[in-house]
Amino acid sequence: MRAPYGLYILDNCLTCPVREEHLFCNLSVQAGQRLNEIKSTAVYPKGAMLFIEGQQPRGVFVLCAGKAKLSTSSREGKTIITKLSESGDVLGLNAVVSNRPYEVTAEMMEPGQANFIPRESLLQFLKDNGEVALRVAQQLSLNYYTAYEEIRTLGLTSSPSEKFAKLLLSWSTKSPQSDGSSQVKLTLTHEEIAEIIGTTRETVSRLFSDFKKKQLLQLKGSTLVIRNRPALEKIVQS
Amino acid sequence: MRAPYGLYILDNCLTCPVREEHLFCNLSVQAGQRLNEIKSTAVYPKGAMLFIEGQQPRGVFVLCAGKAKLSTSSREGKTIITKLSESGDVLGLNAVVSNRPYEVTAEMMEPGQANFIPRESLLQFLKDNGEVALRVAQQLSLNYYTAYEEIRTLGLTSSPSEKFAKLLLSWSTKSPQSDGSSQVKLTLTHEEIAEIIGTTRETVSRLFSDFKKKQLLQLKGSTLVIRNRPALEKIVQS
DNA sequence: GCGCGCTCGTGATGGTGATCACAAGCGAAA
DNA sequence: TTTCGCTTGTGATCACCATCACGAGCGCGC
């Protein structure tokens, strides 16, 4: 099924390639079919907002393809990115369960696709499927722990360089190489990295320079090579 | 029933004066009695640690009397206080539900009393009492929102004075007076305030001086008088 | 009353990162 | 190719706050 933005629509969750791994995957046949009935699918361009901080929750989005960033902003325009989401992630769950406004804004970072499940349908579905409700509770609890990680980083990690090192390490663990180094495709702008670690674009630029000079990393085109994990860990230390 | 530290033990949740308002209060008679059976009560001196960040969860504590502070620390000893708890609050819920280590340390700020409910007993109790389980899920979700407030404060609020103004406002709304001012009994040291807003003791001291000079607040002994809410709101603005 | 421990006020100093400014790189579209 | 918009590198400047230092205040027990 051909769609805009050069994507193919994945129109059936029962045969979706990202099955098996995530919150609403690997359900019983009945539950899976029911879920397939109440969801609707849409394709989004880069920059599309799935929902915006402060809006009343309409439902949850299950990201099927593409990446999204979750962020929160102050009135003066300062923004922090709290999470980068990938396919399989469920967005807006907390707002829907608690019926409070979305606490973040979800914006597509590249063209992609998401299933939408309206709030009322989802809550009814959870009532009918206790085992899924339990998994949702566990997911919420996991979200809480992630939030606490963020609090710790923001409140206890003082210097930008420490936070930058932390970020690099988190990337590097996702693609470990046998020789201890690791390669990451760099898709974020300096501005976005700055919003993740809570500093300015210029400081990120300088951090790249410094770390390159110190042989901690290397740039091959848009591929980031992390060369010295132990040194990075020493910078983080806390 | 006389206890150490000059306190009287409240030994029956069914007749507890803080009933009716909190997570495990106002239950059905059966559930209340069951809860009364699986809990145990203890009295704690000032400075007692109910649990420590990183420990495996043993159970939850329901604070019956006294105040407690929840905090998290880095290895180098920097500490931030994430919440001040009062009687009725349930501590350690998230760790117990998700079976992950306590994410904070809970320390008594004054002599007090708490009920303890062991992890296994609580989980069984929740399985047997669906309606309470639901309330627990809602509480977790509320905790999540509180955590996000903290993230926003730490990540988007730049200056200590802004955070200090925010804190004063949060205190002031708890005791509004008819003339727009408000009075708060100040029980925290400057050091503790510093740990709440993420700065140093000296800076807090200077903030008090500044705000006094600017007629924003006044100190009568240990009573804090907040005089000019609108001005504080203008400082916060975001 | 006296001394001890904790808390508080405040000056001096220095480092760090935000801000401003501007030039250069780079990819996409015309 | 040229142009335009977005992104990146880097210098200069400066405000802000952490840190160190030290003395004063205050409560408590002996």
Check whether A29 has a pLDDT greater than 90. no
Question: What percentage of chain A exceeds 70 in pLDDT?
Answer: 87
Q: Which residues numbered 191-220 in chain A sit less than 7 A from strand D, measured from CB?
A: 191, 201-202, 205-206, 208-209
Given strand B182-185, what is the order of strands in its sheet?
B182-185, B223-226, B217-220
User: pLDDT value at position A4?
Assistant: 53
Assign A119 a pLDDT band (cuts: 50, 70, 90). very high
Backbone angles phi, psi at A152, to 5 degrees: -65, -45
> Higher model confidence: residue A14 or residue B153?
B153
For tokens 């050091």, the residue is B191
Check whether B4 has a pLDDT greater than 70. no
Measured between alpha carbons, how far is A169 from B106 in angstroms, rounded to an integer? 30
User: pLDDT value at position A50?
Assistant: 96
How far is A189 from chain B, CA to nearest CA, in Å? 19
Check whether A182 has a pLDDT greater than 90. no
Residues in chain B with CB shorter than 8 Å from the CB of A138 are 97-98
Question: Which is it for strands B105-108 and B112-118: parallel, antiparallel or unpaired?
Answer: unpaired
Element (H, E) at B226: strand B223-226
Q: Is B118 helix (H, G, I), strand (E, B) or coil?
A: strand
Rounded mean pLDDT of A3-7? Answer: 53
Amino acid at B215: Q
> Higher model confidence: residue A177 or residue B92?
B92
Helical pair A160-172 and A190-197, crossing angle rounded to 10 deg: 110
CB-CB contact of A97 with A136 (8 Å): yes
User: pLDDT value at position A72?
Assistant: 96
Tell me the average pLDDT of chain A. 87
Rounded mean pLDDT of B216-238? Answer: 87
User: pLDDT value at position A236?
Assistant: 87
Q: Which range has highest mean pLDDT (B40-54, B123-137, B171-185)?
A: B40-54
Tell me the average pLDDT of chain B. 87
Positions in chain C where some atom is under 7 Å from a protein CB: 6-12, 16-21
User: pLDDT value at position B11?
Assistant: 60
Check whether B205 has a pLDDT greater than 60. yes
Rounded mean pLDDT of B175-198? Answer: 86
User: pLDDT value at position A188?
Assistant: 95
| Cα angle: A97, vertex B85, A138; to 5 degrees | 30
Nearest to A151 among B142, B145, B151 (CB): B151
Assign B157 a pLDDT band (cuts: 50, 70, 90). confident
Range of weakest confidence among A125-139, A154-168, B222-236: A125-139
User: A198 to chain B: nearest residue by CA?
Assistant: B155
Rounded mean pLDDT of A130-136? Answer: 82
pLDDT in tens, A39-93: 999 999 989 999 999 999 999 999 999 999 999 999 888 999 999 999 889 999 9
Check whether A228 has a pLDDT greater than 90. no
User: pLDDT value at position B8?
Assistant: 57
User: pLDDT value at position B221?
Assistant: 82
CB-CB contact of B212 with B219 (8 Å): yes
Mutate which of A156, A159, A200, A238 to test chain B, going by most B C-beta atoms within 10 A?
A156
User: pLDDT value at position B210?
Assistant: 94
Range of weakest confidence among A25-34, A141-150, A213-222: A25-34
Q: Does B100 touch chain A (CB under 8 A)?
A: yes
Amino acid at B95: A
Check whether A2 has a pLDDT greater than 80. no
Cβ contact A154–B151 (<8 Å): yes
User: pLDDT value at position B84?
Assistant: 95
Q: How far is CA B44 from CA A69, B184, B192, in A?
A: 45, 25, 20
Q: Is A188 helix (H, G, I), strand (E, B) or coil?
A: coil
User: pLDDT value at position A19?
Assistant: 55
For tokens 């359900």, the residue is A27
The distance of Cα B178 from the centroid of its chain, to the nearest Å, equals 27
Domains of chain A: 4-156 (2.60.120.10), 160-236 (1.10.10.10)
Rounded mean pLDDT of A160-188? Answer: 86
